[in-house]
Amino acid sequence: MCGIVGYVGPRQATPILVGGLRRLEYRGYDSAGLAVLDPRTGKLGISRSVGKLVELERALERQPLPGHVGIGHTRWATHGRPSEANAHPHSVNGVAVVHNGIFENYLELKRRLQAAGREFSSETDTEIVAHLIDEALGAGAPTLVEALRVALSQVVGAYALVVVSERHPDEIVAAKNASPLVIGLGNGEMFLASDVPAMLEHTRDVVFLEEGEVVELRAAGFKLSNLAGAPITRPSRRILWDAVQAEKNGYPHFMLKEIHEQPRAIADTLRGRLQPETSDVDLDGYELDPRSLRRVVLVACGTSFHAGLIGKFMIESLARVPCEVDLASEFRYRDPVIGPNDLLIAISQSGETADTLAAVKEARAHGCRVLAISNVVDSAIPRISEATVYTHAGPEIGVASTKCFTAQLAALALIAIHMGRRSGHLKAPEAARLITELAAIPARMTTALSALGDLKDVAARYRDARDFLFIGRGTSFPIALEGALKLKEISYIHAEGYAAGEMKHGPIALVDDGVPVVVLAPRGPHYDKIISNLVQVRARNGRVIAVGTEGDTQLADMAECVLWVPDVSPLMQPFLTVLPLQIMSYAIAVARGNDVDQPRNLAKSVTVE
């Protein structure tokens, strides 16, 4: 996601802030900016640029920002396209803010502020907070931290929020809810950042903010309190990671970090879109009435294609609209029968994949409507689509997609519920149940991830296998395909995913005591059938690794190894059943000594055919 830095102390802030932002570059961003309080004029100097940090540095050469108190930001667009106006800091009457996260109720607050005569200069949700703080200061808030508290009492959402103000020039105030923020302790100077690497060259003594905490930073020290103003004391921690480990938040690889970021990625993708009061889903204001549609065609490549296969289950079962799923590379060349009554849903994490882009162009040429699902705001596919449901997974650095996959599932579930409500097929009580279940998925994923552990023992057992089979039924079939893809991508072991019912039509010939067969067997409508498939594999001496629902004692006796996941309804199972397969692939690849984050022959964004 976005990067935040802050500095207060005797040194010039600008080089420290730019250096900190450079340390966060690896996370990806599309624009950057600084706000520094100029002690000569008492005014805030602000500089913002689109593109790489070097653009900001050029702007700072032209117009330097002197001063000892400042904040900086690299933005990864979520609300509003990448542009100078949307880049942070956002400022209003001498109050400047930078923000990571999403304010869910920003439209409602923006309308109220506009009605009160306030004007906005960006499309972001962040700018409202600068107004709220300015409003609170104008209404007599005695301190900046008090004004921040007044503002926070009005917002709903996730934030790491950092503020400086001309009216309180010696301090920075900040607050955290769901997005990370960490204080760095210097000698007569203080640092603040969204991530440890940003300040590692200045200090290793840090204090991590917890949820609902507010901090006031001055050169001499910091004061931590909760939202109600009660003081909090917390000892600092010494960071022993090196710079590279710090970029990975202490994880040995980005892929593992991203696997563990999935609960947050899903929560951010759902944030502000689930509407439990009306048992509905708001697709950021986009209205999709399926009654005018003949059918939906989902197109994508690789892992995103597997998300599309699950999207078909979701949309067909909740909205009862016929769906097809196609590989973008096939769709674009097969002279598809599509027209104005069809909706193409193009799924692409990067938003730049050449085949998916070409499929969208082909569909548009036939007058077909196009909705995109992407993780990159304003990338090529969203730019030529009628609307985009963005996933808010944050930049994915590991080449093998993990958190973007489950965030795509979350986006598809949102679209399916939205369409289901409008098709009339999904009644309010069932929608309410699904919304509650979806909202609980991040917590279920956290539980599953901690229960699964590192699976090093499983990796040690199967790392030398030459071939793997993955089988599943229903929504577990695409997960079998995804499990096989993850394994082959990073471990270089040959792996095939199959619909379990196909086993006896060919693949079962491969089974012997040298081939591990991963059987996706969560409890649900296909359970008995998949158990029959499992038995057939065992009868041929196959080595079964099962993925099963916690508490299934029958399964425990039938497999060489069982990877347990919490119980959820069948449509939601893919969010959980994919987790052990991601971790197992990762653990096997590490055990084989492979370059997990940059596997051979693969690129993160495939912009050529």
Q: How crowded is residue 289: how many other Cβ atoms within 10 Å of its Cβ?
A: 11
Q: How crowded is residue 235: how many other Cβ atoms within 10 Å of its Cβ?
A: 6
By beta-carbon proximity to ligand F6R, the closer residue of 279 and 353 is 353
Enter the tokens of residue 516. 């591990």
Query: Would you call 153 helix, strand, or coil by DSSP?
Result: coil
In degrees, rounded to 5, the angle at the alpha carbon of residue 114 between the alpha carbons of residues 110 and 115 is: 120
| Marked catalytic residue, from 2, 323, 368, 404 | 2
Closest distance to ligand F6R from the beta carbon of 359 (Å):
11
Tell me which of 350, 406, 423, 549 binds ligand F6R, using CB under 6 A: 350
By beta-carbon proximity to ligand F6R, the closer residue of 253 and 543 is 253
Closest distance to ligand F6R from the beta carbon of 582 (Å):
10
Residue 262 to residue 406: CA distance in whole angstroms: 7
By beta-carbon proximity to ligand F6R, the closer residue of 472 and 599 is 599
Closest distance to ligand F6R from the beta carbon of 404 (Å):
7
Tell me which of 31, 122, 348, 423 binds ligand F6R, using CB under 6 A: 348
- The residue written with tokens 């935040």 in the block is 4
By beta-carbon proximity to ligand F6R, the closer residue of 14 and 353 is 353
Q: Which residues pair with 346 in a beta bridge?
A: 299, 372
By beta-carbon proximity to ligand F6R, the closer residue of 173 and 485 is 485
Closest distance to ligand F6R from the beta carbon of 606 (Å):
5
2 catalytic residue (yes or no): yes
Backbone angles phi, psi at 557, to 5 degrees: -85, -5
Q: What is the dihedral of CA 37, 43, 44, 47, to 10 degrees?
A: -110
Amino acid identity, residue 173? V
- Footprint (CB under 6 A) of ligand F6R, residues 474-533: 485, 489
By beta-carbon proximity to ligand F6R, the closer residue of 126 and 304 is 304
323 catalytic residue (yes or no): no
Task: Please enumerate in sequence order all residues whose Cβ is within 8 A of that of 603, keeping only pairs 6 or more positions apart, or say none.
Answer: 399
Tell me which of 31, 401, 476, 573 binds ligand F6R, using CB under 6 A: 401
User: Total residues at the site for ligand F6R (CB under 6 A)?
Assistant: 15
Closest distance to ligand F6R from the beta carbon of 395 (Å):
12
Closest distance to ligand F6R from the beta carbon of 303 (Å):
3
Q: Which residues pair with 527 in a beta bridge?
A: none
Q: Which residues pair with 197 in a beta bridge?
A: none
DSSP conformation letters of 450-518: HHHTT-HHHHHHHTT-SEEEEEE-TTHHHHHHHHHHHHHHHH--EEEEEEGGGGGGTGGGG-STT-EEE
Amino acid identity, residue 495? A
Q: Point out which span in 175-183, 346-354, 467-475, 510-518 binds ligand F6R (CB under 6 A).
A: 346-354
By beta-carbon proximity to ligand F6R, the closer residue of 155 and 301 is 301
By beta-carbon proximity to ligand F6R, the closer residue of 179 and 385 is 385
Task: Say if CB 420 and CB 429 are below 8 A apart.
Answer: no
Q: Point out which span in 143-151, 193-201, 350-358, 420-428 binds ligand F6R (CB under 6 A).
A: 350-358
Query: Would you call 242 helix, strand, or coil by DSSP?
Result: coil
By beta-carbon proximity to ligand F6R, the closer residue of 165 and 348 is 348
Q: Point out which span in 107-115, 270-278, 330-338, 345-353 binds ligand F6R (CB under 6 A).
A: 345-353
Tell me which of 124, 353, 391, 533 binds ligand F6R, using CB under 6 A: 353
Closest distance to ligand F6R from the beta carbon of 449 (Å):
18
- 165 binds ligand F6R per the rule CB under 6 A: no
The separation between CA 553 and the C-alpha centre of its own chain, rounded to angstroms, equals: 34
- The residue written with tokens 């679209």 in the block is 415
Task: Say if CB 262 and CB 404 are below 8 A apart.
Answer: no
- The residue written with tokens 């882009």 in the block is 357
Tell me which of 368, 400, 419, 500 binds ligand F6R, using CB under 6 A: 400
Closest distance to ligand F6R from the beta carbon of 59 (Å):
31
Binding mask 43-72 for ligand F6R (x = CB under 6 A): ------------------------------
Nearest Cα to 274, choosing from 395, 112, 402, 156? Answer: 156
Enter the tokens of residue 257. 């970090």
Task: Please enumerate in sequence order all residues whose Cβ is within 8 A of that of 21, keeping only pairs 6 or more positions apart, or say none.
Answer: 3, 5, 32, 53, 56, 72, 73, 74, 198
Binding mask 290-329 for ligand F6R (x = CB under 6 A): -----------xxxx-------------------------
Task: Say if CB 270 and CB 410 are below 8 A apart.
Answer: yes
| Marked catalytic residue, from 43, 52, 223, 604 | 604
- 406 binds ligand F6R per the rule CB under 6 A: no
Active site (catalytic) residues: 2, 604
Binding site for ligand F6R (CB under 6 A): 301-304, 348-350, 353, 356, 400-401, 485, 489, 605-606
